[in-house]
Chain A
Amino acid sequence: MTDFMEISPGRHHGKRLYLACMLWFFGRAVQAAARVDDGVKSEFAAMPDNFTFCLGAFPSGPYMVVGKDAHGRVRHLGSSLADRTIHLHLMFKHPALLFRVFAFQENTPVANARNRLYVLGDVPQACAVVRIIDMVQVFLLPRFLAKRAVKRYPAWPLKRRTLIRAQVYARAFAGL
């Protein structure tokens, strides 16, 4: 005789909520940095208008969607993929793996090297998005955490480290 049971997948509500909050704020910070920081601006400038990308987890999120509208304006578009054409997906293979990155247990380059990420879309654009994510992480995180999050902590000028950073924070909170 064999013992048989069925297990439905279920959800990890706590981690999903944490990730949703982090992605929401991070998306607003990307939008803010695209307005005030030349480095982020120039990365977005090279992308076509009406370009939308998402960062998220397989198979069903959570997601962060960011797009550049027809006028070249960068906007955080929330967390839903519905009714949108996404040109570039930057996806972690499992929400738990995305969680590791947002809980600073593993940085993005290492997660990438460990095959925890996959990309659907154009690789040069994916490279640009990763650089944007790196820059925004440096804006948002204290130095000791940012050093763990990026491969090489950048030597930015004082203005970028202070004034621009403050603007990114303020705009991210205000949603500007």
Chain B
Amino acid sequence: MIALNHFLCRTKTAFGTQALTHLPFDLSGMNARKPFVITDQAARDAGVHLALARACRDTHLALGVVTLTEAGDLETLYHLFVDKGYDSIIALGTGQVVQTAKALNLAVCHGPERLRSPAGPGQIKGPLLPLVYIPTHPETGQDTAGETFFSGHCFVSANLMPDIAVITADTMLGTPRTAVLDSGLSSLATCCETFAFSGNLFARSYAHAVICLVMDTLLPLAQQSDHGELLCQKAGKLQQLPLAKLAHAAAVSGYIQSNLPDLKTRQAGAHITAIHPAPSAALSSGLCMALALVHLLENSKDTCPWLGKLLLPLTDAAHYAGVTGPEQPDASVRVIRELLHALSETLPQGMPKTLDAAGLTSRQISEMSDLLTYVQP
């Protein structure tokens, strides 16, 4: 065990049927009586805000709902929030919605000028207002992490993690298949690396649950639609629950990212996306992370402390126990490779299954060797 392990997750995860109806009670427990809902046009068009409004029926909560139509209108939000006396924030959406909600929270509690310069860990003191996160798509863990990016600045604080993440099929919207893969593979890479390399048992426990969720959900979801993308405004009933499970996995992988900021697969994903000549849509960050994960695991078989045990969350207890100890590391990598292969089969154009096949030169790969090899501390 490593000398000192930290773990902090400020967020309560609420997942499942009727999750939204718990929200009025939970908000009252935080003394929040007037929530300010930030959402985006897609969620608004699909009427997801009305699902939230229905959950507030028969309660005391009146909602202010604002729909983001363009970036950079934080000042308008700030004045609306302050002038109308709101006391809490609900981010109904993903990505920009959540980043804006976190930035608004900072602006309201520390003044708008706080957003003019970045803040590292420990620089944002004191509690923020209650922040509830209700995703409408699976994302990549950024939403629940204790950080936000605004106007080119990065703000890091555990207090930026949402107080509650409410994840339910009721709010899931149709999601492009590439985004589904991006989310699932990103969560899988984050959590496999955590499970295989980190001595932080708290992070590993969360990672275990995420890997099981992704392995149960990602491939069947990707296989559900024969023709292209899930681009409908509202996901079909069959897709909503697995989408919610992937969103759940992504939310928990965000908790892990907050605690383990130096994960190699994340850095590798960002690096590859930056140097790759193709547009990012063709090679998502999640896929880059998964490809980097395979390299990382292959390169570190002899030094990776728990690679064999990774087979357990990747498969199940019976399969894991049926493979002998020395064979488990190879079996773990094989399961991930097989998943990538099966996912590739679901795409008409396929997808790369190695970094070479993704178009990276051997020189580019060797230049990032430190991100693809684990060195024991």
Contact = CB atoms under 8 A, between A and B. Distances in A.
Q: Do A and B bind each other?
A: yes
Interface of A: 1-12, 15-16, 57-60, 93-97, 100, 114-116, 118
B44 interface: yes
Interface in B128-150: none
A93 B19 CA distance: 11
Nearest to A95: B58
A2 B69 contact: yes
B60 A7 contact: no
A16 B57 CA distance: 11
Contacts of A97: 18, 21-22
B67 A2 contact: yes
A9 B59 contact: yes
A2 to B, nearest CB: 5
A44 to B, nearest CB: 29
Contacts of A7: 49, 53, 56, 62-65
A91 to B, nearest CB: 9
A11 B57 contact: yes
20 contacts: A2-B76, A2-B77, A3-B66, A4-B66, A6-B62, A7-B63, A9-B61, A9-B63, A10-B53, A11-B58, A12-B54, A16-B58, A58-B24, A59-B25, A60-B58, A93-B24, A94-B55, A95-B58, A116-B18, A116-B22
A39 B208 CA distance: 46
A59 B24 contact: yes
A6 B28 contact: no
A1 B75 CA distance: 10
B77 to A, nearest CB: 7
A163 B139 CA distance: 59
Classify chain B: how many residues form its interface, as a range: 20 to 34
A94 to B, nearest CB: 4
A163 to B, nearest CB: 39
Interface in B59-114: 59-70, 73, 76-77, 80
Closest 8 CB pairs of A and B: A93-B25, A94-B21, A3-B67, A7-B63, A95-B58, A7-B53, A96-B21, A9-B56
Nearest to B60: A59
Interface in B29-70: 44, 49, 53-70
B19 to A, nearest CB: 10
B59 A59 contact: yes
Given A6-B62, A9-B62, A93-B25, A1 B73 contact: yes
